[in-house]
Amino acid sequence: MTAALVTPVVRDEEGRRISRTMRATDELQALMDFYYATVPVVPRSEGVFCYRGERLDGRRTPRCYGMEGEGRGVRVDFFLAMRPGAFVTVTVRDDQEPGVTRTMRRADPMRGLIDFYYAMTPHEEGTFINFNGRQISPEDTPVDLEMEGDEDYDIYFEPSRPNSDHLPWQVTRRVLL
C-alpha cells in the first residue's frame, strides 16, 4: 500500500512559492533541503518553517502534522528573520469548534486572522470580536492590542450575534523565538 501524496507549498517573506510533492510518510527535511537548494540566496539551516503556527521539525512527516488530508497546496510558511517578538502565534477558540491557529507578524492587521477564522469555522461573517470589552477592528495589529513581549498570556474574546447568546472565545498568544 502506498502512502498518500501531499504537496506542501513553502511561501517565504519575499513572496516566493516553492512546492514539492512528497509522500505523507517522508521526512519534512526533504522539503526543507529542496527549498534551500531552490533558493540559494537563503543560507542553509537559517530561518524557520511553520505550519498553522507550529514550527516544523524536519525529522517528522507531513502525516505527523495532519497535512495528509489537505490535498494539494498545503501552505508552509518560511520566515528567515525570527527575531524574538517579531511574530506571534494566535489560537482562536470557541466552545463549539476546535481551535484555529495562525502565525502572524505583530505589525500585520487582524483582518488575516479574522478571515482565516471565518474560513475554518461555520461562524457567520459579521460576528463581533471583543478584546477586553472593546471591539477589535480588522485594521488593529497585535502591537495595537499590546500583544508583545517575551511572556505568554491569554486573551479572551467573546462573539456577539444579533438575537443570540454570547459564546466564550479564547485566544492564546505565544511569541515564537
Nearest to 87, CA basis, from 17, 15, 143, 170: 143
Residue 124 shares a structural domain with residue 75: no
| Average per-residue pLDDT for the chain | 74
Residue 71 shares a structural domain with residue 91: no
Residue 94 shares a structural domain with residue 150: yes
Residue 92 shares a structural domain with residue 151: yes
Q: What is the pLDDT of residues 58-98, one digit of tens each?
A: 999 999 998 887 666 789 989 886 555 667 777 776 666 66
Residue 98 shares a structural domain with residue 25: no
d(CA 76, CA 56): 9
d(CA 7, CA 125): 30
Of the residues 79, 113, 131, the one at which a domain ends:
79
CATH number of 111's domain: 3.10.20.90
Provide the domain limits for residue 43: 5-79
Residue 106 shares a structural domain with residue 156: yes
Q: Minimum mean pLDDT among 92-101, 130-139, 146-155: which range? A: 146-155
Residue 159 shares a structural domain with residue 114: yes
Residue 9 shares a structural domain with residue 74: yes
Residue 39 shares a structural domain with residue 95: no
Quote the pLDDT of residue 152.
44
Residue 109 shares a structural domain with residue 156: yes
User: Is the pLDDT assigned to residue 116 strictly greater than 90?
Assistant: no
Cell of 59: 525529522
Of the residues 19, 44, 79, the one at which a domain ends:
79
Q: Minimum mean pLDDT among 24-28, 56-60, 140-144: which range? A: 140-144
> What is the domain count for the chain?
2
Residue 39 shares a structural domain with residue 73: yes
User: Is the pLDDT assigned to residue 33 strictly greater than 70?
Assistant: yes
Average pLDDT on 152-168 reads 43
Going by pLDDT thresholds of 50, 70 and 90, the confidence category of residue 144 is: confident
User: Is the pLDDT assigned to residue 161 strictly greater than 70?
Assistant: no
Q: What length does the chain have? A: 177
Of the residues 79, 101, 128, the one at which a domain ends:
79
Residue 91 shares a structural domain with residue 171: yes
DSSP E strands in the chain: the ranges are 5-12, 17-19, 22-23, 48-51, 54-55, 72-79, 87-94, 100-105, 128-131, 134-135, 153-157, 159-160, 169-175
- In the block, cell 526543507 appears at 32
Overall pTM surpassing 0.85 (yes/no): no
